[in-house]
């Protein structure tokens, strides 16, 4: 079983739509949670951290459910520029401070 699992998609949505992605993680000791965005053939970039209380950044809302071990990302009013792959990322309490990545969910926003 993968440590971090995501639906690969693609999610094809029209501009202005609301879309949600979920991700599950297997290690209950995971400590930190993130969503990264990766454009085609580019490096991953941090989109937002995910906090237990939930957090919002403009059109993006992230939620964490520790009991069920899943993380969600909600995008409202989708823009063409939101088209990308969204990577769910967790850290676990080891000394290396490395990230464990899901394989990503691809979003295609259509005009």
Binding-site ranges for another protein (CB under 8 A): 2, 4, 8, 31-32, 34, 41-46, 49, 87, 91, 93, 95-99, 101-104
Give the span between the Cα atoms of 45 and 47, in whole angstroms.
6
Give the span between the Cα atoms of 5 and 79, in whole angstroms.
25
Looking at the Cβ atoms of 58 and 97, the one nearer to another protein is: 97
Q: How far is the CB of 68 from another protein (least distance, A)?
A: 21
Give the span between the Cα atoms of 7 and 104, in whole angstroms.
7
Looking at the Cβ atoms of 17 and 32, the one nearer to another protein is: 32
Q: How far is the CB of 66 from another protein (least distance, A)?
A: 15
Give the span between the Cα atoms of 36 and 30, in whole angstroms.
17
């Amino acid at each position: 079983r993968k440590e971090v699992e995501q639906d690969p998609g693609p999610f094809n949505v029209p501009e202005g739509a609301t879309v949600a992605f979920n991700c599950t993680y297997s290690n209950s000791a995971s400590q930190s949670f993130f969503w990264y965005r990766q454009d085609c053939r580019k490096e991953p970039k941090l989109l937002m951290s995910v906090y237990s209380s939930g957090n919002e950044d403009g059109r993006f809302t992230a939620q964490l459910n520790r009991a069920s071990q899943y993380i969600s990302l909600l995008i409202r009013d989708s823009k063409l520029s939101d088209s990308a792959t969204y990577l769910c990322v967790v850290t676990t309490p080891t000394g290396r401070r490395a990230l464990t990545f899901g394989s990503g969910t691809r979003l295609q926003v259509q005009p």
